[in-house]
Chains A and B, each alone.
Chain A
Amino acid sequence: AQSVTQLDSQVPVFEEAPVELRCNYSSSVSVYLFWYVQYPNQGLQLLLKYLSGSTLVKGINGFEAEFNKSQTSFHLRKPSVHISDTAEYFCAVTRIDFTSGTYKYIFGTGTRLKVLA
């Protein structure tokens, strides 16, 4: 069975400081990996995704993530955060169900990033 672990429920960080949000997954098969951002009372917006190829993935708003197969991790990083980055961030894994042709997502419990002035 697949699972996603986001160990940090909340991460406070000062503005212009770097941040890393951790994500570990477990799966016996190859998966695709995603980071989504959610602002208060809004839906999820895709930040970045890893499907194949280069293990360093760049996304929107200056975020990047590195896929590490040996450590089964997909940590999200940003070198310098802004107040506007304050939001909840979700890591997700998915793989195709070949019987149905559908992708089913497993989400982590989320990390609330709070950027302090």
Chain B
Amino acid sequence: DGGITQSPKYLFRKEGQNVTLSCEQNLNHDAMYWYRQDPGQGLRLIYYSQIVNDFQKGDIAEGYSVSREKKESFPLTVTSAQKNPTAFYLCASSRQGVAEAFFGQGTRLTVV
């Protein structure tokens, strides 16, 4: 079955550490997105990518970095510069020119 796989499901990070969240899709979608979800704030766009080796900042990119070396993979790194990284992170993808986005199951990141 095609879909989007995010790993790990739960992640704990010590303050000052960088961590990388994985997102893999086998839907052959061109566009991929990272969102951050906090209670009562909906989803906010961190980064998005339309094609391999290209990505753009979203609304809250500070403290995050991404790469898109392969079409099916779009990992997100939460750096130590991110002041409040504890949140639920969602990865999504869509076909070029198609409005509907498909979501992964999310990664819950907690700073300890």
Chain A residues engaging chain B, CB cutoff 8 angstroms: 4, 9, 32, 34, 36, 41-46, 49, 51, 90, 94, 96, 100-105, 107-110
Mostly helix, strand, loop or mixed at chain A's interface?
Answer: strand
**Closest Cβ–Cβ distance, residue B107 to chain A (whole Å):** 10
| Residue contact A9 to B40, C-beta cutoff 8 Å | yes
Provide 15 A-B residue pairs closer than 8 Å at the C-beta atoms, listed in order of the A residue: A34-B100, A42-B106, A43-B104, A43-B105, A43-B106, A44-B90, A90-B43, A96-B97, A100-B50, A103-B94, A103-B98, A104-B48, A107-B43, A109-B42, A110-B42
**Closest Cβ–Cβ distance, residue B32 to chain A (whole Å):** 10
Complex Cα distance, B40 from A53, in Å, reads 32
Complex Cα distance, B31 from A76, in Å, reads 28
**Scoring B residues 101 to 112 as 1 if CB is less than 8 Å from chain A, else 0, what string do you get?**
111111010000
Chain B residues engaging chain A, CB cutoff 8 angstroms: 4, 6, 9, 31, 33, 35, 40-45, 48, 50, 56, 88, 90, 92, 94, 96-106, 108
Looking at B94, B96, B98, B99, the one whose CB has the most chain A CB atoms below 10 A away is B99
| Residue contact A103 to B42, C-beta cutoff 8 Å | no
| Residue contact B99 to A101, C-beta cutoff 8 Å | no
Q: Give the chain B neighbours of A107 by CB distance below 8 A.
A: 35, 42-44
Q: Which residue of B lies closest to A110 (CB)?
A: B42
Q: Which residue of B lies closest to A95 (CB)?
A: B99
